[in-house]
Amino acid sequence: MGLRPNLLTRRTAGVASTTLALLLSTAAVGVVPAASAFSAAPADACAEPADVHSDARVKAGAHAKQEPNELTAKETREREADLAAALRERANFRTGAGAAALAAVTIPVVVHVIQEDGTRAGGNIPDSMINSQISVLNEAYSGGTGGAATAFSFQLQKINRVTNPAWYPIVQGSSAERSMKTSLREGGKNTLNVYLGELSDDLLGWATFPKRRLDSMDGVVVLTESLPGGTATNYNQGDTGTHEVGHWLNLYHTFQGGCRGSGDGVSDTPAEAEPAYQCPTGRDTCTAAGLDPITNFMDYTYDTCMYQFTAGQAERMLTAWNAYRAA
């Protein structure tokens, strides 16, 4: 599948939709969702799952040595149990559980540009690329590229430029990554911290899932040249950022769990056996109904191929926001 009509033009112009409100009947603050199809732990489970690893996006043909790929079945069960427990905690401290389920969330964004030196090759990108990335996020999450509208918009608060060769490239899971984030992270659980730089192991980016207790690792790491106008061929329209923010808002990959079980836990994303690369039109790797969701932001296809979240993903993100990140 090629580029959708007018998408590249809209992104280049930086136009973002302002339709931010979304009616999600199960996502109001304090509402506990129905039992998860993941067969989560008993209702009194409250131990937060271990921070095993983050989730990532990988280039076609790349084989990352430390690829922080999809979660195991056990890890997904633990995360789903934790989500239910977090929502119960919220319900205990809030009134008006039957409040209207309209929600519009503006997420403050702090961008840390990690540089080896002051050159473009050393990571020093112009502000215009960062502003374009924010526009891409707003367009994608508003449904402006053709998918479902979500509750989320993004507002750039700060660009923080740091020249430190010890943090360049950013190595996933390293002590240097921890040192970088511990030194730089700003804001509360509702603040999106984005770290830009050259990355290790052919990764395009990675992100942490939300947790009940904020720690310094929380945030999103994105390859600098994957931003709009960057040099990462096939991955330079900003959708690595879109993908990783999806993880930060609690989405799994569309191929999570393969053809078995509950997959990514979202009913309107068809099951997918494994990641899709490039743009394989008509791909169908599972016997369950529906072709593989290769146009979904949470797959691994080229930026020109992915353009949508589903209504179920929008609901899942807002439910998780109310559980983990809402003030």
Mean pLDDT of 198-225: 95
Q: Helix 239-248 to helix 127-141 angle, to the nearest 10 degrees?
A: 60
Architecture of domain 103-251: 3-Layer(aba) Sandwich (3.40)
Q: Annotated catalytic, 80? A: no
Say if CB 97 and CB 91 are below 8 A apart: yes
DSSP 8-state symbol, 262:
T
Mean pLDDT of the chain: 82
Share of the chain above pLDDT 90, in %: 66
Say if CB 29 and CB 324 are below 8 A apart: no
Instruction: Tokens for 60, please give them.
Output: 């076609």
Instruction: Pick the catalytic residue from 80, 139, 177, 244.
Output: 244
What is the tens place of the pLDDT at every residue in 144-191?
Answer: 999 999 999 999 999 999 999 999 999 999 999 999 999 999 999 999
What is the tens place of the pLDDT at every residue in 259-293?
Answer: 987 889 999 999 999 999 999 999 999 999 999 99
What is the tens place of the pLDDT at every residue in 75-90?
Answer: 888 999 999 888 888 8
CA angle 128, 129, 132 (to 5 degrees): 85
Domain ranges of the chain: 103-251, 252-308
- The Cα–Cα gap between 321 and 282 comes to 33
- What's the pLDDT score for residue 261? 78
Say what the pTM is: 0.82
What is the tens place of the pLDDT at every residue in 109-121?
Answer: 999 999 999 999 9
